[in-house]
Amino acid sequence: MHIVFNESELALMKEVMMLDATLAGEVILIRDDYAVGPLAGIDTEEGWTIRQEWWQDLLRHSHYKENEITPVDDRETMKLITEKLDQDPEEQLWIWMGQNQHDVCGYFWMIPQLSTYQGRVMVLYMNNLPFINDKGQLFYPSWLQEIPAREFVKAKKLARPVTLSEFEVDPDEWRRLAEENGSVRVLEGGKKILSKDETFYDTEILKNLNADWQKGWRVVSNTLHRMKIKTGDVFIEWRIKMLVDLGKIDLAGEAARGWKDIDLKLGGIPSATAKSENENDN
């Protein structure tokens, strides 16, 4: 079984398996983004419910709000994984991680639940490893989807068992993060995760605004594209709403109609161009 942490990696792993049949196996997605949101008591029903309600609140302010959202419950996924490991003593679990807080926090959430399978849980962490891109250039990827499928054939040689020491230390790291209960978590290096508050990405958002009106979807897109430490669109859209409420961003249009129907600019600054002209440009 192969574990990935991003939707795009499901298709990527299938492509990899077509190139190397020895990697054939089920690909399983851990869907939640444990790099943001509350973690306190997450191993209890109450803590999990608090996290689910936090996500639902963010989704109500996002461009997904009109879609039918099925709540993510990775606990069911973990139950299926452990059942398969119990049923087949030869089965292994391969956890694929890019060098980013999203993947590493997903790993930290999983690892305390896998301690009884020591020796059968493998990790492939692309930490400070060079790869060759499609242009033949050397680069250091942060995300698995940045790596060409052909390069994964080489990457499989990096697979190693999660050590007994890691099974002892990594759950302690996860407990620390849960106790700190920051709204944002970032990767400092290796597997070291630092807790930050909910305003961590605000500067990145404000960088993409000025005195001129811009379409809301464009501000979100530019922020996601340009930021060095990545997070998801739902979190960014929620922070924009909070910044509007604080008066740091001005909003024009009907927010209830969606992100394509609103315009944004820096708060409290007269627009250098008329809003109607800017709308025509966009």
Among 120, 142, 177, give the residue marking a domain's end.
177
Co-location of 79 and 158 in the same domain: yes
Write down the pLDDT at residue 273. Answer: 57
Co-location of 7 and 111 in the same domain: yes
Place of tokens 């996601």: 224
**Any domain includes 250:** yes
Co-location of 134 and 224 in the same domain: no
Co-location of 159 and 210 in the same domain: no
Among 177, 194, 223, give the residue marking a domain's end.
177
Contact (Cβ atoms closer than 8 angstroms) between residue 43 and residue 188: no
Q: What's the whole-model pTM score?
A: 0.91
Minimal CA–CA distance to 209: which of 218, 200, 201?
218
**Any domain includes 186:** no
Q: How many other C-beta atoms are found inside a 10 Å radius of the C-beta of residue 215?
A: 19
Co-location of 46 and 90 in the same domain: yes
What CATH number does residue 259 fall under? 1.10.10
DSSP letter string over 100-142? SHHHHHHHHHHGGGGGGGTTSEEEEE-SS--EE-TTS-EE--S
Co-location of 14 and 123 in the same domain: yes
Co-location of 21 and 74 in the same domain: yes
Write down the pLDDT at residue 281. Answer: 47
Domain that holds residue 113: 2-177
Radius of gyration of the chain (CA): 21
Write down the pLDDT at residue 257. Answer: 72
DSSP letter string over 199-238? TTTHHHHHHT--SS-EEHHHHHHHHHHH-SS---HHHHHH
Write down the pLDDT at residue 70. Answer: 66
**Any domain includes 185:** no
Co-location of 206 and 173 in the same domain: no
**Any domain includes 183:** no
The strand ranges marked E within 40-114 are 93-97
41: alpha, beta or left, given left = phi > 0 and alpha = psi -120 to 50? Answer: left
Write down the pLDDT at residue 152. Answer: 86
Q: What is the pLDDT of residues 100-148, one digit of tens each?
A: 999 999 999 999 999 999 999 999 999 988 888 888 889 999 999 999 9
Low-confidence ranges of the chain (pLDDT < 50): 276-282
Among 177, 192, 220, give the residue marking a domain's end.
177
Domain count, the chain: 2
Co-location of 14 and 90 in the same domain: yes
Element (H, E) at 154: helix 149-155
